[in-house]
């Protein structure tokens, strides 16, 4: 028959004097006790009761750490409030010192504003001086009026002399081969005296020398009066024939 240890309940080998599990001494004559089976049931009931007691007491133990953080979380609030108070106090002190530093400046600027009273006494003296001054420009206007009446004829004489000088300069430039400069001088004469048609003939001569037949033809056509009108017509006919010949060479008629 199988034998079991009294202390741990492990099975024993036949003839063993000590238990291999717990090392307790065994009596070879001792038979296994019939009450070995109910032992495991009793600790099960105890463990179930213990777990029930632990679960019942667990919420109470868990509530304590939840209450404590509320007290600890107030510390940063107190620190932040103290920092805000210090910042407000520092700002108030700074602005107060700044305003107090600007106060003496306003007190120093008060004296220069005192002198204006004597300035207010002078305006009544100004009107008589103003009444005496307007008479001067009237006299100057009366003195200048005869001069302006005599200027127009002088300017006309000067313009005529200037046109003659420019005409002489343009002819010299044209005869010396400086055609572009001569053309500029003739254009200036035409602006000064638009009724002068002879200038267009001279302008046509300059364009023709520069190799600009179309511009020369336009200038000759505008010379409709004066001593150069007949010569201008001859040059117009001659240039028209040359231009027709060039066009026929470039674009020959179909045969």
- Chain segment 36-45, per-residue pLDDT in tens: 454 454 454 4
What's the pLDDT score for residue 51?
A: 62
Confidence of residue 101 (pLDDT cuts 50, 70, 90): low
What's the pLDDT score for residue 140?
A: 42
Question: What is the pTM for the complete model shown?
Answer: 0.38
Burial zone of 214 (CB within 10 Å; 0-12 exposed, 13-18 middle, 19+ buried): exposed
How many CB atoms are located within 10 Å of the residue 165 CB? 12
Q: Is the pLDDT of residue 105 over 60?
A: no
List of domains in the chain: 156-250 (1.25.40.10)
Q: Is the pLDDT of residue 107 over 60?
A: no
Give pLDDT tens digits for 135-168: 444 444 444 444 444 555 545 557 778 888 998 9
Confidence of residue 235 (pLDDT cuts 50, 70, 90): very high
What's the pLDDT score for residue 182?
A: 92
What's the pLDDT score for residue 54?
A: 61
How many CB atoms are located within 10 Å of the residue 217 CB? 19
Average pLDDT over residues 173-199: 91
What's the pLDDT score for residue 9?
A: 78
CB contact set of 204 (below 8 Å; sequence gap of 6+): 216, 217, 218, 219, 220, 223, 232, 235
What's the pLDDT score for residue 94?
A: 82
What's the pLDDT score for residue 137?
A: 43
What's the pLDDT score for residue 159?
A: 76
What's the pLDDT score for residue 102?
A: 56
């Amino acid at each position: 028959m199988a034998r079991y240890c009294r202390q741990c309940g492990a099975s024993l080998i036949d003839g063993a004097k000590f238990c291999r599990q717990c090392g307790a001494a065994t009596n070879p004559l001792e038979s296994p006790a019939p009450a070995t089976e109910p032992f495991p049931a009793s600790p099960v009931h105890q463990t179930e009761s213990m777990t029930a007691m632990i679960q019942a007491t667990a919420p109470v133990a868990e509530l304590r750490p939840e209450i404590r953080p509320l007290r600890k979380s107030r510390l940063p609030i107190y620190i932040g409030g103290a920092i805000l108070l210090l910042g407000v106090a520092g700002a108030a002190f700074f602005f107060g010192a700044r305003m107090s530093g600007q106060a003496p400046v306003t007190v120093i600027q008060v004296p220069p504003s005192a002198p204006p009273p004597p300035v207010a006494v002078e305006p009544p003296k100004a009107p008589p001086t103003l009444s005496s001054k307007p008479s001067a420009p009237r006299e100057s206007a009366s003195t200048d009026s005869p001069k302006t009446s005599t200027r127009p004829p002088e300017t006309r004489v000067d313009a005529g002399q200037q046109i003659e000088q420019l005409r002489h300069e343009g002819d010299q430039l044209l005869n010396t081969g400086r055609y572009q400069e001569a053309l500029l001088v003739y254009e200036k004469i035409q602006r000064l005296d638009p009724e002068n048609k002879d200038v267009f003939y001279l302008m046509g001569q300059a364009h023709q020398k520069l190799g600009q037949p179309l511009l020369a033809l336009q200038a000759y056509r505008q010379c409709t009066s004066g001593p150069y009108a007949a010569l201008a017509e001859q040059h117009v006919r001659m240039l028209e024939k040359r231009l027709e010949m060039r066009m026929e060479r470039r674009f020959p008629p179909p045969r």
